[in-house]
A and B are shown apart, each in its own frame.
Chain A
Amino acid sequence: MSVEVRVPTILRTYTQGASEVSASGDTLSAVLDDLEAHYAGIRARVLDDNGRLRRFVNVYVGDEDVRFLDDLATPTPDGTKVSIIPAVAGG
């Protein structure tokens, strides 16, 4: 499964400045593992020490916040767009 991942500005130091990268995996968790394999260190910026999504990170599969889906177990079918976005916005 190949998905496109939108990378926020503060994580682009890991992706050599790329704002969008490809990754593979059947679930969000697997996609993050694949990202880590190619961009070492990036997973720890998205997940906390307990392996859960950090409090101030929103991750979307398609246009839906994964907290409304199955969190890290959310399926990521081929061609899905995954967006990682800082949560501290708005209001």
Chain B
Amino acid sequence: MSAAPEGLTVTEQGTVLRDGAFGNARALCCRECGHEVALGPHYACPECFGPLEVSYDFPTVTREEIAAGPRNIWRYKALLPVPTDIEQSPNTEPGFTRLLEARNLAAELGIDKLWVKDDSTNPTNSFKDRVVACALSAARELHAKVFACPSTGNLANAVAAAGARAGIKTVVFIPSNLEKPKQVNSAVYTDSLVAVEGNYDDVNKLASEIAGEEEGWAFVNVNVRPFYAEGSKTLGYEIAEQLGWRLPDQVVIPVASGSQLTKVHKAFQELVKLGLVDDKPVRIFGAQATGCSPVSTAYKADTDAIRPVKPDTIAKSLAIGNPADGIYVLDICRETGGAVEDVTDDEVREGILLLARTEGVFTETAGGTTVGVLKKLVETGQLDTTLETVVINTGMGLKTLDAVADEVGPAATIKPSYGAFVSTGLV
């Protein structure tokens, strides 16, 4: 850091930061070796390439202060790397989505108490609005010119929408074989949607190369990833607050890069440390699709070595063959007594229909994967059906209609007469 006018700091890289740009965040800390780096557009440890995580000096935070906040993720702003005036900056104001008590699904599966955290109701219909809102704040404070991402679809939607609302140029990169609705849901917000001939891991590599070469580009899940990822903590905060400031016994979370699962775990730990909830064991389970299951495969093989795979699944939003946080997912699931499980594409489709027909929630393939895994965990005895369980639905079924389009449709096509209807047997 060097001398600067009052209220401003100039980093070693020459970035001018205002005081409190990142709220109560103190530094970026390597999860592998503990090396600390000043807050800025950094994501890999200069010593060991390990992932950098935001660390904080938290003040006292009370339930009352949080409850008095807005009904979006900024009610938790004291626990996020954002400035205290974050609500004044245009963003999509995601979060505080519903926590549904899933009585019918619980009865179907034989679980005593089950909740669905339904993030399909976020502004662009996935949990990605949470992480993008935090990344947008970082991009603003770092004076980025371009807001960008490599994406399996939902993230592209969220980045494009948030960028439009904030008035910042966006460029989003997707695999060219992505579902059409996810392409349209980005392209309506930006004229800079780039379809890359390759899978998500190819897109991710390209984004990392661009981030290393272009000044002023904030790739939400590359060079501002430490800030971005913190947004997923709000899922954990909300679950606890909506349960009446207590932790659930078990949580089932989809795994793509694995970041969300690690952040929900971090959120629970922070709430305990801050005295906002009582400490208790929480078993955390990860869900993957069999066609892209490097973490589940490593879990079942009882190894820490995650072998990258070439994804082949309809659950494209989970199709990350080389998951950055996979190793930490393994650690957390093993330490907490959870597991990582995977289901086939047919089971993903069944999961989508199961949630829709028991709870009236139309999830996308990632949610189908999570519900499918929930079912499998029950059937294989890995999940304790007597314990209170939360399953996270991360996205909206309208974005992946093709997945179930051939599975559902009219029960009958009839002439407009009462007799014709009676003949269908639906009376």
Contact = CB atoms under 8 A, between A and B. Distances in A.
A38 interface: no
Contacts of B200: 90
B50 interface: yes
B49 A91 contact: no
Contacts of B222: 89-90
B208 interface: yes
Given A56-B32, A88-B324, A89-B221, A83 B205 contact: yes
Interface in A10-51: 10, 13, 19, 45
Contacts of A19: 212-213
A54 B47 CA distance: 11
B259 A91 contact: yes
Contacts, number: 98
B19 interface: no
B308 A67 contact: yes
A86 B209 contact: no
A73 interface: no
A45 B43 CA distance: 16
Contacts of A45: 47-49
Contacts of B51: 56, 88
Contact of A88 (B44, B207, B213, B260): B44
Contact of B49 (A6, A65, A87): A87
A8 interface: yes
Interface in B234-289: 256-260
Interface in A42-80: 45, 54-58, 60, 63, 65, 67-68
Interface string B139-160: 0000000000010000000000
B212 A89 contact: no
B225 interface: yes
Interface in B327-380: 327
Contact of A86 (B44, B202, B221): B44
Nearest to A89: B222
Of the candidates A6, A13, A19, A65, the one having the most CB atoms from chain B within 10 angstroms of its own CB is A65
A10 B92 CA distance: 33
B229 to A, nearest CB: 8
A83 B32 CA distance: 23
B69 interface: no
A38 B15 CA distance: 31
B124 interface: no
Contacts of A85: 205, 208-209, 212
Of the candidates A57, A60, A91, the one having the most CB atoms from chain B within 10 angstroms of its own CB is A91
Interface of B: 32, 43-52, 150, 198, 200-202, 204-205, 207-209, 211-213, 219, 221-222, 225, 256-260, 307-308, 310, 320, 322-325, 327
Interface of A: 6, 8-10, 13, 19, 45, 54-58, 60, 63, 65, 67-68, 83, 85-91
| The 3 nearest A-B residue pairs measured at CB | A91-B257, A86-B44, A88-B51
Given A10-B49, A58-B205, 9 more contacts: A56-B44, A60-B205, A63-B202, A86-B44, A86-B49, A88-B225, A88-B324, A89-B207, A90-B200
